[in-house]
Structure 1
Amino acid sequence: MTEMARAAAEDPAGTTAGAVPLDPDGVPYGQPVLDRVVALLDLERIEENLFRGVSPAESPVRVFGGQVAGQALVAASRTVPADRGVHSLHAYFIRGGDPRVPIVYEVDRIRDGRSFTTRRVVAIQHGKAIFSLSASFQVREDGIEHADEMPAGVPEPESLPTLAERVAPYRGRIGIHGQAPRPFDIRYVTDPPWVSRETGPRTADNRVWMRAHGQLPDDQVLHVCLLAYVSDLTLLDSVLARHGVYWSLDEVAGASLDHAMWFHRPFRADDWLLYDCASPSASGARGLATGRFFDRSGNLVCTVVQEGLLRVAE
């Protein structure tokens, strides 16, 4: 285990690194918390195609899906030439991860072509696969370009309430969703689902501005892996928002089933990104959610699709 990864596992909020800033509701945020997430992505290479990652000591019952997706993408990236950036990934969440033990990532070098490289990664715990990921990497090429425009009329992120301010009236009621350390600065454009379930109207969109809560090095692989990490954070909320329910306030049981991302243009995870999410369908105790990341200049930088298991009591 690397020193960074060991520190992240033992001290998820970064408290041993010095004073950690706290939001008004007492939740750690800022650079020390962000550094812990970056450290979690610093996998230990234990063989040519084998890597080991850890979870924070203070974790929920299951490993956060964004964490295992980000770590798997790091493992794949470390077997790919530096001139090839990831342009897409497709993943399945197979079993809930155990945060008490390390996760082993096994990389299969499927193909190394002239322009494209393909990798498959399986995350293993207790001798069983808990997650699988396929990722494709490409040498930078020029070609035709077009993109959807960012939604009109979106307010600037600085004008919106902080997550601590949004959570304050519901503190103690929405569980870990309001109390976990905050490595990302998240500003809701639409009302959060824990608010809209009571106030209405139930919107078809779930939009948030988000950025890493600190500064990051100029490593595009790290920025991409952090986006994979945070993309799982609010995506399924767009499904719940349409039905006026929320995780800790209603009898909702859920889990991510699969996750796909397409990376269109370079970006920085420590600059503001608008995450525009919607849910086109829910059926069979499953909900489908789509998301688009725009940078502050309005460029579409990433598209996300996820299906989740969502069991809501009558």
Structure 2
Amino acid sequence: MSVAGYVVPEDGVGALLELERLDPLTFRSLPHVGERVRLYGGEVAAQAVLAAGRTVPPGRPLNSFGVYYLLPGDSTVPVTYEVGTARDGGTFSTRTVKASQPGGTILVATASFQRPEGGLSHRVEPAPAPMPEALPELERALADDPVTLAWITEVTGRLLVEVRLPDGSLDGPGPGGHIAALRVWMRTRHRLADAPRTQAAGVVYLSDLLMLVASLRPHPHRVADGDVWFATIGHSVVLHAPARADDWLLYEVESDWADAGRCVTRGRLFDRTGQLCASTTQEAVLRVTERT
């Protein structure tokens, strides 16, 4: 299905990330067809990664990306991405990105790209987890929790991703004894282009998903109950190894702190072989309407 001048979300994450080049340093997304909704932060971040990457010399994949969200985006309006060439060195290229809509700037970001090189090497291993193919789909895994099932089905359907729950729930305790931890297998529903920058953008797209759920684990609140309001302030991703966003990635997320109407989470993305592919951090507004 296609609609001239619009992106149809059902066409997949790859379609959502396509950009029109207006000049060497300016890019524009297509508006979504359908009703107006708040743009998913991971979509805007991933588009910013692709805009920045298209201005970088070849042979320099994304190594890190940091973003601040300033205003909610409107899905029915194109987003304009203005890229700044901060530096091109012998090894690293650095870019700034400003994403705007008629209401103002919705995102500012910095992206770093590195020419491959060798060096000292070590990495952590994931906690043992069942492979995603061995886990039930959400309808079975959450059959006894229709409220959470309805919430996560709406989210994953709208964002065109698939998830599996290695610990059987979004709300139960995870392994390792951390007071606020969550594990999720995730991937895009549709195949993405093989280009490394597209796959890296896909990883950034996924990395914004479900992180804040971990911050609720120590508290008598669930994200699906309707009394929790959150909005991401800042999000960062450091990439360690090439990964396919359209194959299963295991996301381990922990929240070490929440207070003052904010929370902080950190995550690790592993591929199905157990290789650490990316590390993430996120700061967000977290507010709860206390029950009476």
TM normalised by structure 1 equals 0.83
1:109 is the counterpart of 2:106:
no
Counterpart selection for 1:190 from 149, 158, 167 = 167
Q: CA deviation at 1:297?
A: 1.4
Cα deviations by residue, 1:83-102 (Å, 9 ceiling, x for unpaired):
00110111100111111211
> Residue 224 of structure 2: SS of its match in structure 1?
coil
> Residue 97 of structure 1: SS of its match in structure 2?
coil
Aligned residue type for 2:264: L
Instruction: Identify the residue that residue 152 of structure 2 maps to in structure 1.
Output: 177
* Contact 1:202/1:242, CA 8 A, preserved across alignment: no
Instruction: Identify the residue that residue 134 of structure 1 maps to in structure 2.
Output: 110
Take 2:77 and 2:191, find their aligned partners in 1: how far apart are those partners? 29
> Residue 211 of structure 2: SS of its match in structure 1?
coil
Q: CA deviation at 1:234?
A: 1.0
Cα deviations by residue, 1:37-92 (Å, 9 ceiling, x for unpaired):
10111101112211111343346731111111011111101101120011011110
* Contact 1:93/1:132, CA 8 A, preserved across alignment: yes
Q: CA RMSD in A?
A: 2.4
1:86 is the counterpart of 2:87:
no
Take 2:2 and 2:236, find their aligned partners in 1: how far apart are those partners? 28
1:155 is the counterpart of 2:127:
no
Aligned length: 285
Cα deviations by residue, 1:147-193 (Å, 9 ceiling, x for unpaired):
11111x31121111213334555556666532234632210112433
Distance 1:139 1:99, change over 3 A: same
1:297 is the counterpart of 2:287:
no
Distance 1:192 1:182, change over 3 A: farther
Distance 1:273 1:46, change over 3 A: same
Cα deviations by residue, 1:204-248 (Å, 9 ceiling, x for unpaired):
320011223243332111111011111111111111223132233
> Residue 39 of structure 1: SS of its match in structure 2?
helix
Take 1:6 and 1:147, find their aligned partners in 2: how far apart are those partners? 46
1:288 is the counterpart of 2:285:
no
* Contact 1:203/1:242, CA 8 A, preserved across alignment: yes
> Residue 27 of structure 2: SS of its match in structure 1?
strand
1:57 is the counterpart of 2:33:
yes
Take 1:235 and 1:311, find their aligned partners in 2: how far apart are those partners? 15
Map 1:27-66 → 2, pairs under 5 A = 36-58=12-34, 61-66=37-42
Instruction: Identify the residue that residue 18 of structure 1 maps to in structure 2.
Output: none
Distance 1:140 1:173, change over 3 A: closer
TM normalised by structure 2 equals 0.89
Gaps of 5+ in 1: 15-35
* Contact 1:8/1:37, CA 8 A, preserved across alignment: no
Map 1:264-279 → 2, pairs under 5 A = 264-279=240-255
Take 2:14 and 2:35, find their aligned partners in 1: how far apart are those partners? 16
